[in-house]
Amino acid sequence: MSIPFIDLKHQHRRLSSRIRENIDRVLKHGAYVMGPEIEKLEQELSSFCGTDHAVACSSGTDALLLSLMALDVGPGDAVLTTPFTFCASAEVISLLQAVPVFVDIDPVTFNLDPSQAAKALQALDKNDPGIHPLPGYRGHKPNSGSGRNAAHSAINTSKLTPRAIISVDLFGLPCDYDALTALAGEHGLWLIVDAAQSFGSLHQERSPCAMGNISCTSFFPAKPLGCYGDGGMCFTRDSKLAELLRSLRVHGQGQSRYDNVRLGLNARMDTLQAAVLLAKMEIFPEELDMRRKAAMKYNRLLSGLPGIVTPKFFPDRQSAWAQYSLLAGDKTHRSRIFNRLKANNIPWAVYYPQPLHLQTAFSYLGYIPGDFPASEDTASRIFSLPMHPYLDPGDQEMIAKVVADL
Ligand SMILES: Cc1ncc(COP(=O)(O)O)c(C=O)c1O
């Protein structure tokens, strides 16, 4: 039997009767949109994360988009983020006609490096790309899209106002929030936490969803807490922002249904997805522990192998282990490992083969290879092995032998 990269079927076998019960309840009451399960989930997850407000929405991408809209980010604004992430983290910035200012990662955590972010802010302030690579300096290169994509006009860097940082907790590991919170505070920036991969993680005993002005997560099926389709959530301590987010997710609704006080989206979570998530939450803390144990076992088996760098455990942070990602010595070493994995029918993945600053969709920013060396080097060496709570220890041993070529 082949080893799944993520085993959702195993989890479903364990939970199927609870999930069916919850779904049946929705089918019975029939409130498919904004049914009672939505509020129940919001209450349960805000208390799980130790924050005040949770606003359920249609996806992690929409959670980020709603957040930027609630903070009124738009043309002329610069938003700092990492180029080593899923496209959504930066896509939402460009969609609102603000400008993503990429900041390289710390090669150990794979997360945005706060010291590089400080340099980027200095470069923006002095309008000096010699301090840190900035968008727009190598000339405007329109990307190949049409419509909104083609609408990106030349970036006037002298007019960019830094407004926010979107930090991304890659693979489930929280960023350095002491440094990022201090930096955002010092420069009067909003901190938006992209916790799409890190729901369930901890930074000094606090959830990243309780940090920043707004935190966003995703319930895409492969995420640590996944639903059976798309879903996401925004978290905040600020009741005004929570109210804005609630309005924006329903077309900018005001006091009543046909009172629209601002432009918004249709970005609600389906009641059925909330029903699934409520069932999954019952075993989520246990699953987090199972993921952590699987990661520890991988590290025991793989640490010290020539050329291999295993992910680091931090005493002050607990990853949600959305992925178990490690580095090969170089691209050739990685290809040799992939050949062996393939020959042994073991799945793997590369998150992410191309940093965002080198992708066509972001070519209009004018970045070039070499702008973010840590992200580029990591992209050429990283790979992820099967990771889920139900990973068989014997399978892990077999996988490790294949990686090690024993
Ligand atoms: C870091 C990051 N941000 C945002 C998203 C977007 O989430 P969704 O797929 O729910 O829209 C993802 C999803 O993969 C992600 O990994």
| Cβ(136) – ligand 1 distance below 6 Å | no
How confident is the model at residue 137, as a pLDDT? 81
pTM of the model: 0.96
Q: Which residues of 167-179 are buried (b: 16+ CB within 10 A; e: fewer)?
A: bbbbbbbbbbbee
| Cβ(65) – ligand 1 distance below 6 Å | no
Q: How many domains does the chain have?
A: 2
Q: Do residues 127 and 183 both lie within one domain?
A: yes
Token representation of residue 117? 């972010």
Q: How far apart are CA 2 and CA 79, in angstroms?
A: 43
Among 234, 254, 281, residue at a domain's last position:
281
Q: pLDDT by residue (tens digit) across 91-109?
A: 999 999 999 999 999 999 9
Work out the pLDDT band at 150, boundaries 50, 70, 90.
very low
Q: pLDDT by residue (tens digit) across 225-258?
A: 999 999 999 999 999 999 999 999 999 999 888 8
Q: Return the higher-pLDDT residue of 147 and 364.
A: 364
- Please, which residues bridge with residue 101 across strands? 80
How crowded is residue 17: how many other Cβ atoms within 10 Å of its Cβ? Answer: 9
From 58, 59, 61, 277, the mutation candidate for ligand 1 (largest count of ligand atoms within 8 A of CB) is 61
Q: Return the higher-pLDDT residue of 356 and 153.
A: 356
Q: Do residues 61 and 39 both lie within one domain?
A: yes
Which residues lie below 8 Å from residue 336, measured CB to CB, with a gap of 6+? Answer: 405
Q: pLDDT by residue (tens digit) across 48-76?
A: 999 999 999 999 999 999 999 999 999 99
| Cβ(220) – ligand 1 distance below 6 Å | yes
266 in a structural domain: yes
Average of per-residue pLDDT values in the chain: 95
Q: Cis bond leading into 352, ω under 30°?
A: yes
Q: How far apart are CA 266 and CA 284, in angstroms?
A: 29
Work out the pLDDT band at 146, boundaries 50, 70, 90.
very low
Among 226, 246, 281, residue at a domain's last position:
281
- End-to-end C-alpha distance for the chain, whole angstroms: 21
2 in a structural domain: no
Q: Which of 319, 229, 249 minimizes the C-alpha distance to 55?
A: 249
Helix H, strand E, coil C: the string for 158-183 is HHCEEEEEEEECHHHCCCCHHHHHHH
Among 258, 281, 304, residue at a domain's last position:
281
Ligand 1 atom closest to Cα of residue 168: 1
Q: Do residues 277 and 289 both lie within one domain?
A: no
Dump the DSSP string for 110-167.
-SB-HHHHHHHHHHHHHT-TTTS--TTTT-----S--TTTTT-----GGG-EEEEEEE
| Cβ(84) – ligand 1 distance below 6 Å | no
Q: Do residues 181 and 244 both lie within one domain?
A: yes
Between the CA of 102 and the centroid of ligand 1 the distance, in Å, is 17
Whether the per-residue pLDDT at 1 is higher than 70: the answer is: no
Residue-range definition of the domain harbouring residue 56: 8-281
Q: Which of 355, 372, 396, 394 minimizes the C-alpha distance to 132?
A: 372
1 in a structural domain: no
Ligand 1 atom closest to Cα of residue 218: 10
| Cβ(207) – ligand 1 distance below 6 Å | no
CATH classification at residue 300: 3.90.1150.10
**Average pLDDT score over residue span 311-338:** 97
Q: What are phi and psi of 204, to 5 degrees?
A: 45, 55
